[in-house]
Amino acid sequence: MTTILRDADADPELLSGQQIAVVGYGNQGRAQALNLRDSGCSVVIGNIRDAAHEAAERDGFRVLPIAEASAAADVVMLLIPDEVMPPVYAEHVAPGLSPGNLLVFASGYNVAFGLIEPAPELDVALIAPRMIGLGVRDGYLDGRGFPSFVGVHRDATGRARERMLALARALGSTRAGCIEMSLHDEASLDLFTEQGFGPAFGRVLISAIEVLVEAGYPPEAVLLELYLSGELAYSLEKAREVGMVRQMDFHSHTSQYGSLTRGARFLEHAEPLKRSMRQILDEIRSGRFAEEWSGQQPRASELFAALRRARDAQPIAKWDEEARRRLRIGAAAGD
Q: Which residues bind ligand NDP (CB under 6 A)?
A: 24-29, 47-48, 50-53, 79-82, 84, 88, 106-107, 128-129, 132-133
Least spacing, CB of residue 312 vs ligand NDP, in Å: 20
C-alpha dist (Å) from residue 332 to 220, 229, 323 = 14, 15, 9
Return the ∠ at Cα 283 (arms to 281 and 287), rounded to 5°: 115
Least Å from the CB of residue 149 to ligand NDP: 9
CB of 105 to ligand NDP, least distance (A): 6
Q: For residues 14 and 48, which CB has a smaller minimum distance to ligand NDP in the complex?
A: 48
Indicate the pairing of strand 4-5 with strand 178-180: antiparallel
The residue (of 131 and 165) whose beta carbon lies closer to ligand NDP is: 131
Alpha helices in 120-247 (DSSP H): 133-142, 160-171, 173-176, 183-192, 198-214, 219-223, 231-242
Number of residues that this document lists for the chain: 335
331: left (phi over 0), alpha (psi -120 to 50) or beta: alpha
| CA atoms of 272 and 239, how far apart (whole Å) | 26
Residue placing its CB nearer to ligand NDP in the complex, 29 or 196: 29
Instruction: Using the minimum distance from each CB to ligand NDP, give the nearer residue, 106 or 160.
Output: 106
Amino acid 64 reads L
Q: Please, what is the end-to-end C-alpha distance for the chain in angstroms?
A: 54
Taking each helix axis from N to C end, the angle separating 27-38 and 51-58, rounded to the nearest 10 degrees, works out to 20
Q: Which is nearer to ligand NDP, 12 or 26 (CB)?
A: 26
Where residue 139 falls (left for φ over 0; alpha for ψ -120 to 50; beta otherwise) is: alpha
CB of 275 to ligand NDP, least distance (A): 28
Q: Provide the minimum distance between the beta carbon of 54 and ligand NDP in the complex, in angstroms, as a whole number.
A: 9
Q: At what angle do helices 198-214 and 270-285 cross, to 10 degrees?
A: 140
- Please name every residue paired with 127 in a beta bridge, in sequence order, or none if there are none: 150
By Cβ distance, which residue is nearest to ligand NDP? 26
Q: How far is the CB of 97 from ligand NDP (least distance, A)?
A: 17
Residue whose CB is less far from ligand NDP, 25 or 61: 25
Shortest CB 134 distance to ligand NDP, Å: 9
State which residue, 194 or 292, has the beta carbon closest to ligand NDP: 194
